[in-house]
Amino acid sequence: MKELRVDLNNNANYFRKELENIRRGQEKLENSFAEIQAELKVIKSRRNNSEELIGDSEDRIIEITQSRHQTENQRKKYEKNIRDLWDNIKQTNKCIIVIPEGEGKEKGIEKIFEEIMAENFPNLKETDYIKIQETQRAPNRLNPNRPTPRHIIIKMVKVKDKERILRAAREKQRQL
């Protein structure tokens, strides 16, 4: 029986040591698990921060793109305004001389201008319609002491129209 007791004590010691080894292993696993959880928290927070930075960067890219489009549209608008102002600033007036006084009242000054253009410059196409902004006779009042007819001043909307007419007139003079 003594042997049995010694055997039981040996087995009990063995199991205590094994149990202690298992507990140490369990503690190591728990510590490792806690470390892994801490690392996982750090990784998750980094991921969240990265996602926020990416979202902020995407928002900023969208803002910059929209700003660039706005700037481009404003630039185009300003260029168009400058072209329009330049067209208005350049001398867009043409003088037509020697048109009898009554003829302007009957047909209208614009119609007379169109007839003269068709007669003198047939090479200007119908599609190249010249827009007239304003027409007037100069001087405004008829002087009964002067027998000469008044001039008609035609102001065109665009300088390009004036330049086309001048080019056509130069070509016509070269041909003569």
- pLDDT tens-digit map of 6-39: 888 888 889 999 999 999 999 999 999 999 999 9
- Alpha helix (H) ranges present in the chain? 2-89, 101-107, 109-120, 159-175
Distance CA 155, CA 137 (A): 11
pLDDT winner (highest mean) among 34-38, 149-153, 163-167: 34-38
Distance CA 48, CA 44 (A): 6
User: For the whole prediction, is pTM greater than 0.85?
Assistant: no
pLDDT winner (highest mean) among 98-102, 124-128, 156-160: 156-160
- Using alpha carbons, list the distances in angstroms from residue 34 to 30, 39, 41, 92, 130: 6, 9, 10, 86, 85
The dihedral region occupied by 120, where left means phi > 0, alpha psi between -120 and 50, and beta the remainder, is: alpha
